[in-house]
């Protein structure tokens, strides 16, 4: 088996194989721990390889021509972590199941794999906090922020996926903004940082019957109107389609991809505002 220089890895993630039972349409997952690896071959071709992580042997070695293959989720498979690699140029089908301990990064892996299969110069993007170690393969392919073109592609992919699939496109949410922007979380800040309260006044309605004070802010945060706005924002962020909108808040487009991305971008924005002030 060909030795694959890890320096040539472009993308890798844990995955097992699922093989078709002869004469049937059944695809059965095999228990072996493996990995899907996309790498630059010495032949200057893009290879997709399935490697057994226990024995080190390579079970599949496929040459990927630009735009030919796609890695698609099988909608009815229980657990939602079964995928098929299929080709425009042939009837080949290779089935895999995601083996990363958490399914959180599945969408990142799948998106990046499909991106690279379409265009080997695709820049990897990660919506989760720490990119897995195998994603970088040396200085020639650093992890970059997504360009607006890529985000646009992502947006189109997400909306077409949602429009087409019968299964829900997103897993149930881990948390909601409505549990973050609560009086219980915010009111104590006013006690510990009273100087921050007046900074909120410009964001309050300009036609309040009385000039605002700390109690006004507290009342507003507890009001049904504000809570409804928070719920709307949470729902809208979960669609992943707010890339254009979040720029009006001074945030990068990626911040519109999810609630998690939004909060991360706000964290960054807050940190950079603080450092600007201390300069």
242 binds other proteins (CB under 8 A): yes
Is 40 or 253 the residue whose CB approaches other proteins more closely? Answer: 253
Q: Which of residues 177-206 bind other proteins (CB under 8 A)?
A: 177, 179-181, 185-186, 189, 192-193, 196, 199-200, 202-205
Work out how close the CB of 184 gets to other proteins at its nearest, in angstroms, rounded to a whole number. 9
| Residue 167 contacts residue 75 (beta carbons within 8 Å) | yes
Q: How many CB atoms lie within 10 A of CB 24?
A: 8
Q: How many CB atoms lie within 10 A of CB 243?
A: 21
Among 28, 42, 66, 273, binds other proteins (CB under 8 A): 273
How much of the chain is in helix, strand and coil states, percent to nearest 5?
40, 20, 40
247 binds other proteins (CB under 8 A): no
Is 142 or 183 the residue whose CB approaches other proteins more closely? Answer: 183
Is 34 or 243 the residue whose CB approaches other proteins more closely? Answer: 243
Q: What is the rounded radius of gyration, in angstroms, for the C-alpha atoms of the chain?
A: 23
From residue 112, alpha-carbon distances to 6, 117, 158, 228, 275 in Å are 18, 9, 14, 35, 33
Q: How many CB atoms lie within 10 A of CB 263?
A: 15
Work out how close the CB of 256 gets to other proteins at its nearest, in angstroms, rounded to a whole number. 10
Q: Where are the beta strands (DSSP E) in the chain?
A: 9-20, 27-29, 34-40, 46-52, 58-64, 69-73, 82-87, 93-98
User: Considering all CA atoms of the chain, what is the largest pairwise distance in Å, rounded to the nearest integer?
Assistant: 78
Size of the site for other proteins (CB under 8 A): 56
119 binds other proteins (CB under 8 A): no
Among 114, 118, 123, 235, binds other proteins (CB under 8 A): 235
Among 56, 164, 172, 211, binds other proteins (CB under 8 A): 172
Site string for other proteins, 136-165 (x = CB under 8 A): -----------------------x--xx--
Q: How many CB atoms lie within 10 A of CB 227?
A: 15
54 binds other proteins (CB under 8 A): no
Rounded to whole angstroms, the Cα distance separating 276 from 279 reads 5
88 binds other proteins (CB under 8 A): no
Work out how close the CB of 90 gets to other proteins at its nearest, in angstroms, rounded to a whole number. 35
Q: Which of residues 215-234 bind other proteins (CB under 8 A)?
A: 219-221, 223, 225-226, 228-230, 232-233
**Could you tell me which of 143, 137, 110, 139 has the C-alpha nearest to residue 124?**
143
The residue to which tokens 């940082």 are assigned:
193
Backbone angles phi, psi at 94, to 5 degrees: -125, 130
Among 274, 275, 276, 279, binds other proteins (CB under 8 A): 274
Is 133 or 184 the residue whose CB approaches other proteins more closely? Answer: 184
Binding site for other proteins (CB under 8 A): 159, 162-163, 168, 172-177, 179-181, 185-186, 189, 192-193, 196, 199-200, 202-205, 207-210, 219-221, 223, 225-226, 228-230, 232-233, 235-236, 238-239, 241-242, 245, 249, 263, 266-267, 269-271, 273-274
């Amino acid at each position: 088996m060909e030795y694959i220089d890890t320096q040539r890895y472009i993308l890798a993630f844990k995955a097992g194989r699922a093989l078709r039972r002869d004469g049937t349409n059944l695809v059965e997952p095999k228990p072996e721990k493996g990995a899907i690896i996309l790498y630059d071959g010495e032949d200057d071709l893009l290879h997709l390889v399935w490697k057994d992580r226990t024995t080190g042997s390579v079970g599949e070695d496929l040459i990927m021509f630009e735009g030919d293959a796609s890695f698609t989720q099988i909608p009815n498979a229980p657990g939602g972590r079964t995928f098929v690699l299929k080709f425009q140029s042939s009837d080949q089908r290779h089935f895999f199941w995601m083996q990363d301990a958490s399914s959180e990064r599945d969408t990142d892996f799948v998106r990046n794999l499909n991106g690279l299969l379409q265009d080997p110069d695709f820049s990897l993007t990660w919506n989760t906090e720490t990119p897995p170690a195998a994603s970088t393969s040396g200085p020639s392919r650093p992890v970059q922020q997504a360009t607006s073109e890529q985000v646009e592609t992502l947006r189109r992919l997400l909306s077409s996926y949602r429009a087409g699939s019968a299964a829900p496109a997103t897993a149930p949410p881990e948390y909601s903004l409505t549990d973050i922007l609560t009086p219980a979380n915010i009111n104590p800040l006013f006690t510990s940082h009273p100087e921050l309260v007046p900074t909120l006044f410009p964001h309050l309605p300009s036609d309040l019957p009385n000039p605002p004070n700390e109690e006004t802010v507290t009342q507003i945060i507890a009001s049904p109107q504000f809570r409804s706005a928070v719920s709307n924002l949470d729902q809208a962020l979960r669609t992943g389609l707010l890339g254009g909108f979040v720029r009006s808040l001074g945030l990068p487009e990626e911040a519109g991809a999810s609630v998690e991305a939004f909060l991360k971008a706000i964290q960054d924005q807050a940190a950079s505002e603080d450092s600007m002030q201390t300069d």
